[in-house]
């Protein structure tokens, strides 16, 4: 039994489920937002430690002890029953439900993709990513993460103002979950320097700007590595951050990594405790590969569609425990 934890609208899950169905693999698609209103969850154990864990949805009863793999895609958080209207009580109910889900998922002795939530939280730490990548010999851009205006100004002068700024975490996404507001990587301007004092309110990431021949999205699935070139410099909109998508003017192609970079990507994913990771790098005009970050739950489907790289097949292989065959 394979469990896919994700929301209702998830084309990535749809693509993998289509492949699982072709292989007649048993699976359950489950959104944590259904708990506890549209699903129930029970855990019990006896004096000898033998446990029983049962998930009941509106149309199925699942013995979770039979689960062989869990793919944590992008589930929504638990949602209290509408009958619980007091905000404080709703918050209490949802936190308790989240605790129950985490306790149950972590107790199951199964394969995880990318990893259990406790591992994902650690793997998402930007400082840890940079330190590990550097230890593995991957080149990094000079980086400063700070809430100290003076430190920022010194870093700005050190690099002649040629910097970009990034968010450190996902606080904006969580705080403004009902908004379309997002912050992309941006060049630091002289106007920003004039507001340097505001950095003291919250930390930011600053990095020396890395010249780009192309940008690379490197998707690691188990022991397989799929690298794609994103020709972000062909469109003004995507020059600083390819996530400002302009698909018409941004070609994507498969890319062959040097062996040392490929090995570094695989080892970084292993050291972070992951079985999946979406790595962003820059290939500079003079041929250097510069690591930017890794997203443990990063999107990949548009890469597959534009390049033909069989990433969904690799995920399916891993979920049905065919990693050894896929890596051969």
- When pLDDT is averaged across residues 262-272 and rounded to a whole number, the result is 97
Residue 179 falls inside a structural domain: yes
- When pLDDT is averaged across residues 161-188 and rounded to a whole number, the result is 69
For residues 95 and 14, membership in a common domain is answered with yes
Residue 192's pLDDT is: 84
First to last CA, the chain: 25
Residue 41 near residue 35 (C-beta atoms within 8 A): yes
DSSP track, 70-101: EEE--PPPPB--TT---HHHHHHHHHHHHHHH
Q: What tens digit of pLDDT does each residue of 115-134 get?
A: 999 999 999 999 999 999 99
For residues 252 and 286, membership in a common domain is answered with yes
Residue 242 falls inside a structural domain: yes
* Residue 290, token pair as written in the block: 């510069």
For residues 155 and 245, membership in a common domain is answered with no
For residues 188 and 253, membership in a common domain is answered with no
Residue 49 falls inside a structural domain: yes
Q: Which helix (H) or strand (E) holds 194?
A: helix 190-194
- When pLDDT is averaged across residues 207-221 and rounded to a whole number, the result is 95
For residues 204 and 218, membership in a common domain is answered with no
Q: What tens digit of pLDDT does each residue of 22-70 get?
A: 999 999 999 999 999 999 999 999 898 888 999 999 999 999 999 999 9
Which of the four pLDDT bands, split at 50, 70 and 90, describes residue 194?
Answer: confident
For residues 194 and 259, membership in a common domain is answered with no
pTM: 0.87
Residue 327's pLDDT is: 39
Where residue 172 sits, what CATH number does that domain have? 3.30.1490
Q: Which of 188, 208, 228 is the last residue of a domain?
A: 208
For residues 69 and 164, membership in a common domain is answered with no
Range of the domain at 268: 214-327
Percent of residues, the chain, with pLDDT higher than 70: 89
Stronger pLDDT, 325 or 13, i.e. the higher one: 13
For residues 46 and 146, membership in a common domain is answered with no
307 burial (CB, 10 Å; 0-12 / 13-18 / 19+) is: buried
Stronger pLDDT, 183 or 316, i.e. the higher one: 316
Q: What tens digit of pLDDT does each residue of 130-146 get?
A: 999 999 999 999 999 99
Q: Residue 190: is its pLDDT beyond 50?
A: yes
Residue 322's pLDDT is: 54
Number of compact structural domains in the chain: 3
């Amino acid at each position: 039994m394979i469990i896919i934890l994700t929301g209702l609208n998830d084309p990535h899950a749809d693509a993998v489920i289509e492949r699982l169905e072709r292989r007649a693999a048993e699976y359950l698609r489950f959104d944590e937002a259904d708990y506890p209103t549209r699903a129930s969850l029970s855990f019990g154990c006896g004096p000898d430690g033998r446990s029983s864990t049962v998930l009941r949805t509106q149309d199925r009863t699942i013995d979770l002890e039979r689960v062989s793999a869990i793919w944590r895609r992008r589930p929504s958080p638990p949602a209290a029953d509408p009958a619980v209207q007091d905000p404080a009580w709703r918050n209490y109910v949802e936190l308790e439900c989240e605790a129950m889900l985490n306790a149950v998922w972590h107790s199951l002795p199964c394969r995880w993709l990318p990893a259990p939530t406790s591992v994902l939280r650690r793997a998402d730490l930007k400082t840890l990513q940079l330190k590990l990548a550097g230890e593995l010999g991957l080149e990094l851009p000079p980086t400063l993460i700070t809430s100290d205006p003076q430190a920022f100004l010194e870093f700005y002068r050190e690099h002649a103002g040629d910097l970009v700024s990034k968010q450190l975490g996902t606080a904006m996404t969580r705080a403004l979950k009902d908004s379309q507001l997002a912050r992309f990587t941006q060049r630091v301007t002289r106007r920003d320097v004039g507001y340097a004092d505001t950095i003291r309110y919250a930390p930011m990431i600053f990095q020396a700007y890395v010249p780009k021949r192309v940008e690379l999205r490197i998707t690691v699935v188990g022991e397989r590595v799929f690298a794609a070139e994103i020709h972000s410099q062909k469109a003004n909109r995507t020059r600083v951050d390819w996530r400002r998508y302009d698909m018409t003017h941004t070609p994507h192609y498969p890319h062959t990594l040097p062996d040392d970079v490929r090995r570094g990507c695989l080892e970084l994913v292993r050291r972070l405790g992951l079985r999946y990771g979406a790595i962003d790098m820059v290939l500079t005009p003079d041929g250097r590969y510069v690591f930017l970050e890794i997203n443990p739950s990063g999107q990949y489907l548009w890469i597959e569609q534009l390049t033909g790289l069989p990433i969904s097949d690799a995920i399916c292989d891993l979920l049905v425990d065919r990693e050894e065959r896929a890596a051969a």
